[in-house]
Amino acid sequence: MRRGMLRLAVLVLALAACVETPVQTAAAPLVGVDGSTDSADRNCNIVLRDLDRPWTGFDYEMHDGHWVWVGTIEISEAAASEGLVPTLIYQSGASAWYEVAATPAQAAPTPGFARFTVRLDEHVPGPGSTDSVQAVPFLRMPQGGRLFDHNRNSADTANYVMTSPDYAIWRNDAICVPPTGPQRARLVFDADWTQHREGVIAPGGEVTIAYAQTRLDGCKKFQNGYELWDITAHVLFQPGNQLRAASVRGGSTTMTVPNDARSITVWFEATNTSGCHQWDSNFGANYVFDAATPPQWVGNMSSLMTRDTSGDICGGTPASQGFSFDTWVRQRAAITNLCFQVYQPGLTDLDDPELWTKLDVSIRWRGDGQNVWHTQYVNFDRRVGNDARYALSWRELDPFRPYHCPDVPTTPDGTYLQARLDYYIVVNGYELRPVPGAAFSGTFTDYKDDYWRSQNCQ
């Protein structure tokens, strides 16, 4: 970082000292970032997406005689996984610098990012003022430094500046676009010496290796507060034999999966400056994970609501026609299943007890009008011919299930309440939708008057 930016950072720190918020704890600094000093981020770890004054329909939103600004800050998934939370520092005219912490947003983020909302309603101009407003978001690092957003303003001393008449930083989708690669996965190596995969290891996607330092800390060494040791993750992608190595002493590392990868082999090595060596290699066998590719076909999706337990647990109404989960179904039905089938040659047409590690199958769902999609894994039911069949009981997602406050929007309909759920299926990155970008849907209905909800739900 050049000297000018350091001088600015020191000045801002001094001016903002009276409004410092508590330092957020985190697992480790971002890979490649020196968290002990203030520095500029040009790698999309933090970016201000937009910042402007909300329009109420009659005028701009006001607070105590001042305008209000609301904006969106996004941070990379790597930063979010380390527990980092963005803060915005700002200045109106020639006044002091102030800072405000951002809060997690409900709206869906840009893929590959976590989204936060920031609100400015103090120490800002109001009607009649022509003062400009400078702003810049940053991540407060555990080592004491700050990582400033310079992804749109590349110069070391350049901040975002809002001036009359629009007083806004408008969104620019050409800045910090979603990462390439269709899928992201995590390989988690826990302190209890277990390991598991989360998500899909897909060629062209990304994989994060999360490692518990206590698994391999026998070489830990310090001198004068400096760490003189490291833990290296060795990652071999096959059949191309691409070998990568990255430090996981801080907790994790993320890398791109080569386009030809079909499996990943991982092992770990601890070293220090005195020559200590330790290995975590599954007793020499290493840790092997299969990469996943989208299946050839997903379909035959339907919902079955019935009291009859003498037949199949799947069937009923095709997903394209929707479904109705009403009071009769809730009280009387023995089967309330969503079912669908998956076909992948050489995979689903064989009896394989490890199929669950090779097909990542989930339902994405949200309430009508909600922006955030929720994810729930769907269990394998059995083989049907050459297909793998999966089943999920709608009771698991019923917004009106007993002793549960609805977490989706509800609509009154006479003596009833209704809630619509939108959903689609994802199998190794393949999305089963009615048409691209759309979702299937179904309706849940219950009586409006429910004693438990009236006593326990807002």
The yes-or-no verdict on residue 26 having pLDDT over 70 is no
Per-residue pLDDT band at 180 (split at 50, 70, 90): very low
Residue 377: the pLDDT is: 85
Residue 14: the pLDDT is: 34
DSSP secondary structure letter of residue 181:
S
Q: What does the pLDDT look like over 305-324, one tens digit per residue?
A: 999 999 999 999 999 999 99
CB 441 within 8 A of CB 423: yes
| Average per-residue pLDDT for the chain | 86
Alpha carbon of 330 to those of 259, 305, 334, 379: distances in Å? 47, 9, 9, 21
How far apart (Å, rounded) are the C-alpha atoms in residues 255 and 359?
A: 21
How far apart (Å, rounded) are the C-alpha atoms in residues 219 and 248?
A: 14
The yes-or-no verdict on residue 85 having pLDDT over 70 is yes
The yes-or-no verdict on residue 359 having pLDDT over 90 is no
Paired sense of beta strands 160-162 and 277-280, if any: unpaired
Instruction: Give the pLDDT mean for 154-177.
Output: 84
Q: What does the pLDDT look like over 274-313, one tens digit per residue?
A: 999 999 999 999 999 988 777 889 999 999 999 999 999 9
Alpha carbon of 385 to those of 300, 307, 319, 339, 389: distances in Å? 13, 26, 21, 15, 10
Residue 318: the pLDDT is: 96
Per-residue pLDDT band at 23 (split at 50, 70, 90): very low
Beta-bridged to residue 75, according to DSSP, are 46, 114
Task: Give me the domains of the chain, ranges plus CATH numbers.
Answer: 3-162 (2.60.40.2440), 184-290 (2.60.40), 297-456 (2.60.40)
Residue 33: the pLDDT is: 65
Paired sense of beta strands 133-140 and 86-92, if any: antiparallel
CB 250 within 8 A of CB 256: no
CB-count exposure of residue 283 (10 Å: 0-12, 13-18, 19+)? exposed
Tokens of 57: 């329909």
Per-residue pLDDT band at 206 (split at 50, 70, 90): confident
Reference 16, options 96, 107, 127; nearest CA is 96
Reference 420, options 310, 326, 328; nearest CA is 326
Alpha carbon of 449 to those of 331, 412, 413, 417: distances in Å? 16, 11, 12, 9
The yes-or-no verdict on residue 30 having pLDDT over 60 is no
Kindly state the percentage of the chain with pLDDT values over 70.
90
Instruction: Give the pLDDT mean for 19-42.
Output: 55
Reference 69, options 16, 32, 123; nearest CA is 123
How far apart (Å, rounded) are the C-alpha atoms in residues 408 and 87?
A: 30
How far apart (Å, rounded) are the C-alpha atoms in residues 405 and 120?
A: 33
User: Could you tell me which residues come within 8 angstroms of residue 360 by beta carbon, excluding any fewer than 6 positions away?
Assistant: 199, 200, 292, 426, 427, 428, 429
- Classified as helix, coil or strand, 257 is coil
